[in-house]
Each structure stands twice: as C-alpha cells, then as structure tokens.
Structure 1
Amino acid sequence: MNTADAAVQALYFEDDGATPNSRFPVLFYRLTLDPSVDNARAFEALFAAHQWTPLWRDGIFDYHHFHPNAHEALGIACGQARLTLGGASGQSVSVECGDVLVLPAGTGHRCIECSDDFLVVGAYPHGQEDYDIQQPDSAAHPRALACIAMVPRPEQDPVSGIRGALMTHWR
C-alpha cells in the first residue's frame, strides 16, 4: 500500500439541523494498493500503525447515520460503492478499492448502492472504540452536538500518521 503519494481531498458539510456534521472536513484519500496483498489486512495494519483500532470488516449501512462520540476511518478493501456524505442534503461520492474516508464525529453517511464484493474496514482512534450509531433527529440534535464537542482530535492521521492531512485540516 503506497501512502506516500496519496491524493487527499477535504470535503466540508454544514449542520442541517438533524445531521450535525462537523467543522472539520471529511478527508478522502485515494491510495494505490498492491494487488497481491490482502487489502483488508493491509488497511487493518495501516490504521493500527497510526493509533486507530480496526474493529470491523463489512459494508456501510444503507440509512443515514453518524457517530456523535467517535471519529471513523473507512478503508475500502474491495469493490466500489456510491455513498452519501453529510446527511440527506449532503453530497454523493463514489468510492472504490484503495479509498479511505476519515469522518469526523457527527458526519452523516450512508451507502446508496454497492458492488456485491464491497468490503470496508472500519477503524476508530484509540479511546473511541465504543462508538454510538445515531440517525438524524432534530429533537436529539442538541444532545448530539454536546457529545461531538467532547470528542478529542486523534493523535495521528490514520493513513499518514503524525504528518498526515488530518493534522493540518483538523486544527
């Protein structure tokens, strides 16, 4: 996995009154993978090396949701998908094998459609492994905002470590 030449894009999403999103941008990396390697295992090793705990391998829920108490890294290990980021009024993005999304706490996301072989590795900064899953709800919005405000920034970028884009964009 080549992370040295990783292109990264910063995507910003506004609070819509139901999905909080974040003042921090979503970081969207496009990595070059080695076709002879187990990509899921490679993502798990990459994330773990940068103090993010890989907790699961699966797809992404097909309903809008966010994590008010944890940041999340999603490594696309196989296949491709179309996702919505930022909640119902957010942006649709296409992801494929080798992509990584780093979602700040509160960022809405859901899978619109995916290939049959779509596989994601989900990881969380050390200390944020007990993540909560919430759906957009204007009544619960103030509580979600209070929770998000308490989430510490990660010590490292899950892709590039202490010199990664997260350290610059999430100030």
Structure 2
Amino acid sequence: MTYSRRKIVAAAAGLVGSLAGCSSGGNGGEGTATSTATATEEPTATATATPSGPPEDAPTFTVTNENKTFIPMVAEVDPGTVVEWTTESLSSHSVTSMYPSASESGRRAWNPEVASEWEMNEDMGGEPVTHYFPEPGVYEYKCNYDFGHIGGCAAVVVGDQDYDQEMLPCEPQ
C-alpha cells in the first residue's frame, strides 16, 4: 500500500482531532473539542541528491595482483572510472590507501605533494574489490601483507597527472 504525503497529513489531523475530543478541558469532563484541519500545499520539487556510487555505465579498469605485485603498478584511467582489483593467489592481499597528510594509521603517501586523499582498506579474498574514482588525482595504495619486505605498492592515476612507476618505493617481484 502506498501512502502519499497528503494522506498521512490528513490521517494525522484526524488523529489529533480525535485525541482532543477525548481530553477534558479541566471542567469535569465536559470540555469542548476543537479540531482545525488545514490544507497542505503540494510538496515542492527538491534537487535529487548526487549518487555516491558510480553510474551504471561507468568504465571499469582491472588491476591484478600477480606474484605479489599489482599489474599494472601505475593504472592510468579517466575520471569516472571504477577500478577493480583481483587476485588468483591463495595468499592474503589487500588494497590499502595511502594519505598525503599525516594520519593516525601511519599510512602516509610516498609522494604527498601529488597524492590525493582517499579511503580504502579492503582484503582481496575470492571476490574482487572495487573503488569509484570520479575526480582527477593520484591515489597511492599498498598491500598490507606484501609491502615492506617485497613489492606490493601501486597507484591509480586519474586524469592527466604527472606520475610514473619510478615514484613508487617498490619494484615488481
């Protein structure tokens, strides 16, 4: 059953009127009930909120974790692209964002002068993980399990940005 705003307001006004009739006006239960129903205006159109996710026709770019290395290590995509990370490895891997500013988590970007703020901290299991990149920027990330002792670092470069693989602190494994 669908309720319109007008039906809900009318029902509420009827309920208020009924309750007012049940109250005593402080004169021994012989109070007079008054009910005033006012007509409501048609609702005004409001702007539709911008969806937080990607449009249905957004392009997808796939990054694969192979041999503990993100392929490609620098993914160059257009704004409005969904990046999907996959792995066929049996070991654990993650996509963990790095920040240009100091953070409590210690995930400081390697190139803070060009890196963009973003939030991602997902383990890749049997299912791919995705992130929508609507704005141009450089989005650095690492694998929590592989970074440090081996490769496991990469970046998504959205739009026309000056960034290449030499700016990363690790090399393909």
TM-score, normalised relative to structure 1: 0.30
TM-score, normalised with respect to structure 2: 0.29
RCO higher in structure (CA 8 A, sep ≥6): 1
